[in-house]
Structure 1
């Protein structure tokens, strides 16, 4: 089964839920959803994406996490290009799908003038941009910390030596984790936390009418959602290793010293 099969990269089409929820909030001028709608959309999309692609790729929907696995030796480097291409195709196709879905609404909202900034800006439907008050350093730190939380959460959910999630619930809990990050850390930058979620739609918008402003806006913000999540992912793994994994006790084969049953752990 190829990592580039439709089933593999269709996992990233879960982002259709996230991007379309942003489109509905922006283009509906607040009458068809609020900030919570966007967070729920991405949480649901991540959950479905994991279910769609988990059987082939292990649900690698995030380039930062994939690269981290390669650096740690958990994934062969020869597989990295296939994973990244699959992620790119899925996210790019998601952006194109949402563009087609809301094509008429986009034209009605912007009068045909697609802009990155201004009162009728719509580029943020597809990719992240920093809030006007956020400095480049502040935005970088926000993306870094949000990705740290993402990795810590994912590792805890799948930690069989600690108190891992029950088998079959990991996808749902990961979606809830993304929802929580959006609820608590989404205001500054829109919480990209994933190069695969941010760059392909940005390239799509550059092609589809927004132009090269998508790469120059926000003091050339585009590189931050690529680098900060990678560093945050590595930091999250390190923190989990130092403060949790090194202190885990081996899982006993059956029962504990008092003869009580051991809580069931999960497998990915």
Structure 2
């Protein structure tokens, strides 16, 4: 047996490593949803806080979720990010489905916790569990009030997620002006706050299929019979799934082919010439 064989990890080690990464994605996404969906429940049903509360809590949730999962799995916390990383950053395709399943499961379980904890407040605010409080768990075109069509919301999700992925790639690229490793979660959290403040009107800035589908499913099985539809009665659940996936690919491609190709090698300092 050659030395190279002695250095290879055993299949058992690989399984444990992948299991740890999947667990990290589950818990990191769950933390994100506990703060994100939790703050929307507090604002909408409890009447405490406002839009800025929502934007900041979502951003802080992203930051804290990254701190939970970052060292183990890279803290994708978002299927659109995972797919973009596989396409443009060499992330193994064999891990894409497990990561996405873990992200969606984490979002689902966390949303169930929020649904349980706020059950009395939600029942008082909206006894019929109608679209009036559906937005606590999942997004709607125009946030349920503005005159935005499903196609308008799809456009919005493509653009918003393209911005997210392009900037996540820029922030985490060691060849670029990346923040110190321990500050990366903070900066990415600020990015989500900025997207929420600038791109939240048309579709509620889901920009993450797991963030929307997991809580939407949780609300459906706990009494929200119209969870899959929008305020117009049309099937809507596909918009915050397809839009972010398209936008993530677009954002990743823009960064790789329009920015990263012009960056110097990692060991070469940038010049001002």
TM class, shorter-chain normalised?
0.7 to 0.9
Specify whether residues 248 and 17 from structure 1 end up closer, same or farther in structure 2 by C-alpha distance, changes over 3 A only: same
RMSD: 2.0
How far 1:162 moved relative to its partner?
Answer: 2.1
Aligned pairs, number: 250
How far 1:109 moved relative to its partner?
Answer: 1.2
Provide the C-alpha distance between the structure 2 equivalents of 1:5 and 1:255, rounded to a whole number of angstroms.
Answer: 36
In structure 2, which of residues 22, 43, 49 is the aligned counterpart of residue 33 of structure 1? 49
How far 1:164 moved relative to its partner?
Answer: 1.3
Provide the C-alpha distance between the structure 1 equivalents of 2:59 and 2:50, rounded to a whole number of angstroms.
Answer: 15
Cα deviations across residues 95-150 of structure 1 (Å, max 9, x unaligned)?
A: 0111111111111112x31112xxxx111101111124001221111111110110
TM-score between the two structures when normalised by the length of structure 2: 0.86
Cα deviations across residues 165-224 of structure 1 (Å, max 9, x unaligned)?
A: 12211100000000000000001111000001000111111100011x111224211101
Say if 2:172 and 2:178, in contact at 8 Å, map to a contact too.
yes
Provide the C-alpha distance between the structure 1 equivalents of 2:224 and 2:205, rounded to a whole number of angstroms.
Answer: 21
Residue of structure 1 equivalent to 2:9: none
Residue of structure 2 equivalent to 1:69: 85
Residue of structure 1 equivalent to 2:14: none
Unaligned runs of at least 5 residues, structure 1: 258-268
Residue of structure 2 equivalent to 1:227: 242
Residue of structure 2 equivalent to 1:164: 178
Say if 2:63 and 2:189, in contact at 8 Å, map to a contact too.
yes
Q: Which runs of 4+ in 1 moved over 6 A?
A: 254-257
How far 1:7 moved relative to its partner?
Answer: 4.0
Cα deviations across residues 62-109 of structure 1 (Å, max 9, x unaligned)?
A: 011112223346122221221112111210011011111111111111
Say if 1:4 and 1:86, in contact at 8 Å, map to a contact too.
no
Say if 2:216 and 2:227, in contact at 8 Å, map to a contact too.
yes
